Structure 1
Amino acid sequence: MQTALFQHQSFLGHDTGAGHPERPERMTAVHRVLEDEAFALLERIEAPAGTEDQILGVHAAHHLQRVQAAMPESGLAMITGDTVACPTTLTSALHAVGAACAAVDGVAAGTLRNAFCAVRPPGHHAESDRAMGFCFFNNAAIAAHHAVHHHGMERVAVLDFDVHHGNGTQEIFWKRPDLFYGSTHQEHIFPGTGRADERGDHNTIVNAPLPMGSNGAAMLAAFDERILPALRTFHPELIIISAGFDAHRLDPLAGLAWTEDDYEAVTRRIMTAADELCGSRLVSVLEGGYHLDALAHSVARHLRLLMEA
């Protein structure tokens, strides 16, 4: 079994306009660093398009219809104050969904050891009936539901180390006993959710907000003391990572102080948990990360560890 990289040309075509932080150059930077010979044996898979059935597993029908109707024939369309679409955005969003679900398929079937989905647009801010925060469809949440609905899994976890709280994933998981959400994020920034007392109807949500300026040691302590013990109690059959790299000290959109070493350390902890709990079944889905060099090098460290599993 190998580690697979799921990618698609359409992720470069999602144009958000001049000056927007969630820009095609993010994907170019990731692809450039993965040209290193250290990734020569990495299996690269073209992501299929996700289906309406997959999206409707977690999103309301009127949300899908609203996104479809909002796509412009030319130029750019402002979906929300920060979420922008171009004529090919829907194609990109569908392939992002398809990448996450296909990665789950491969890992669930045992044909892949683990997988990283280098996708955009990201997904963890998309709620069941609302696009926001650069996100249209919640890729990680859709993949988690796909694992339950299509593969018969009874417990699936999403762990999120993006600097922003995944309000969409939390909202979608809130009433579900079969889905676990654990998140570290900077407190008091967008989207304003993710307090430690937000636990969900079945106590399957664990938030660890971190003060501005927190370094990687604070994040690792939050994983060791709060998130991973709760994850072990939940005992998932699959772990999905919402892998945002915008808590890096160089990232322009927030104020945490992580480094590439910290991303490697948290990845190693999650992989160890996957080994212990779910037969190493692990899928990682790209979320944020807006300093191009920090994003590229952090992804490289994350993916190199996945390949060593």
Structure 2
Amino acid sequence: VTINLTLILTLTLSLTPTLTLTLIMPPSRRLLLLAAAAASADAFAARVGVAYSPAVLGHRPPGGRYHPECPERVSSIHDHLKGGGMDLDWVEPALDGASEDMRRVREIIDEVHWDEYLKELRMRCERGGGQLDEDTYLGPESYESVVAGTACWVEAVRRTVERRAGPTFALARPPGHHAPRSQGMGFCLINHCAVAARYALKYCEGVERVAIFDWDVHHGNGVESLFRREPNVCYASIHQANAFPFSGEASDRGMLKNLLNVPVAEGSDWAVYEDKVDNAVMPFLSEFNPDLVIISAGYDALDDDEMAGCALQPADYGKLMDKFVAAFGSDKIVLGLEGGYNLEVTPKAVEATLAKL
């Protein structure tokens, strides 16, 4: 057998950051493959999006007093990501009240929360704010600021699902996962995650099943209550046991079996989290076969966060993200900021998360 070696070429292509192919082919196909590779590279450029609006900084404690849920939570993450080397696609929701986008955001907020509760929030903000409860405050700008945060979550869904632009992180505050239909609590006023999920189900073509995973150290009682009877949504939470809001027992699976609660002991580190995610969370979410995965990304399980007692490190969130990308692919993942109150380590944990998408 005679082989003409001048007609054989070995070509290595990095088609994605994680997929490299070594191909042997005749030169006649080289230009076609190089063109395809260039198109792939363009498609993967700036794939990770961040939905953000400066308006989320307007929610401030009245009187300038200290509160752990402060604008610096978001500004520290924003500045860290902007100053880093990641190629991120920053998008800002249109907050114009006359826009169709904002009309839909407010429409879904009205579907998620009781009208009387929303009226109370607006009225109290107009009067200068105050305390909803021992933990949860309102300032003069809080209502529109929190709605802007919800719009960031919805914009993340729109970018990922409607525009097919890749995974997106909603950099918004305050957190929302504790807020049930009729009240605010635990720093939360409007349930951003619930609004984002309902928006996807109502307006995004091809989204019929939404899986929510909450890795905040506190159980997302508000999200759970809103979707307990929703067959097209499943909710899984890994959280510290016997911590606020003192819910999320492992025995509570919901009447539709669409809930999974995974409480972990104080002091739990990556070894504990990895075991629970691999053997409980992933099988549950995978069996649900979602069209969209929304992650309530709280970072208060970090060892240096004083809001609870777990012991994760920033890099552990990258390991968590690796598992989700492997299971579901990055193109159907949306994340939004929930808790995370240490201004030094939370930005590093967010960066570790986004670096794996």
The AA in structure 2 aligned to 1:6 is A
Q: Structure 1 residues 191, 28: closer, same or farther in 2, change over 3 A?
A: same
Residue deviations 1:22-59 (CA, integer Å, cap 9, x gap): 111111210121123412x3111112345321202322
Q: Which runs of 5+ in 2 are unaligned?
A: 1-42, 96-101
* Correspondence list, 1:227-242, <5 A: 227-242=281-296
* 3-state SS in 2 of match to 1:38: coil
The AA in structure 1 aligned to 2:246 is G
Bigger drift between 286-295 and 9-18 goes to 9-18
Bigger drift between 46-55 and 209-218 goes to 46-55
Q: 2:347 aligns with which of 283, 287, 296?
A: 296
* Preserved CA contact (<8 Å) 2:318 2:355: no
* Preserved CA contact (<8 Å) 1:47 1:96: no
* 3-state SS in 2 of match to 1:209: strand
The AA in structure 1 aligned to 2:350 is V
* 3-state SS in 2 of match to 1:263: helix
For 2:98, the equivalent position in structure 1 comes to: none
Aligned pair 1:284/2:324, yes or no?
Answer: no
Q: 2:150 aligns with which of 77, 80, 97?
A: 97
Q: Which runs of 5+ in 1 are unaligned?
A: none
Shift of 1:257: 0.3
* Correspondence list, 1:27-176, <5 A: 27-39=74-86, 41-49=87-95, 50=102, 51-74=105-128, 76-152=129-205, 153-176=207-230
Q: 1:24 aligns with which of 66, 71, 93?
A: 71
Bigger relative contact order (CA 8 A; separation at least 6)? 1
CA distance in 2, matches of 1:126, 1:28: 23
* Preserved CA contact (<8 Å) 2:160 2:331: no
For 1:249, the equivalent position in structure 2 comes to: 303
Q: 1:189 aligns with which of 243, 246, 249?
A: 243
CA distance in 2, matches of 1:139, 1:149: 15
The AA in structure 1 aligned to 2:311 is A
* Preserved CA contact (<8 Å) 1:70 1:79: no
The AA in structure 2 aligned to 1:222 is K
CA distance in 2, matches of 1:144, 1:191: 22
Shift of 1:60: 2.0
The AA in structure 2 aligned to 1:108 is V
Aligned residues: 301
Shift of 1:282: 0.8
The two structures have a TM-score, normalised by structure 2, of 0.81
Shift of 1:142: 0.8
* Preserved CA contact (<8 Å) 1:5 1:117: yes
Shift of 1:20: 0.8
Root mean square deviation, CA, Å:
1.4
Bigger drift between 98-107 and 253-262 goes to 98-107
Q: 1:180 aligns with which of 228, 234, 241?
A: 234
CA distance in 1, matches of 2:195, 2:287: 23
Residue deviations 1:133-189 (CA, integer Å, cap 9, x gap): 111111111101111111252210111100000000000011111111111100001
CA distance in 1, matches of 2:114, 2:77: 32
CA distance in 2, matches of 1:100, 1:48: 12
Residue deviations 1:54-88 (CA, integer Å, cap 9, x gap): 202322222222222221443x4111221111111
* Preserved CA contact (<8 Å) 1:97 1:142: yes
- Runs of 4+ aligned residues of structure 1 deviating over 6 Å after TM superposition are none
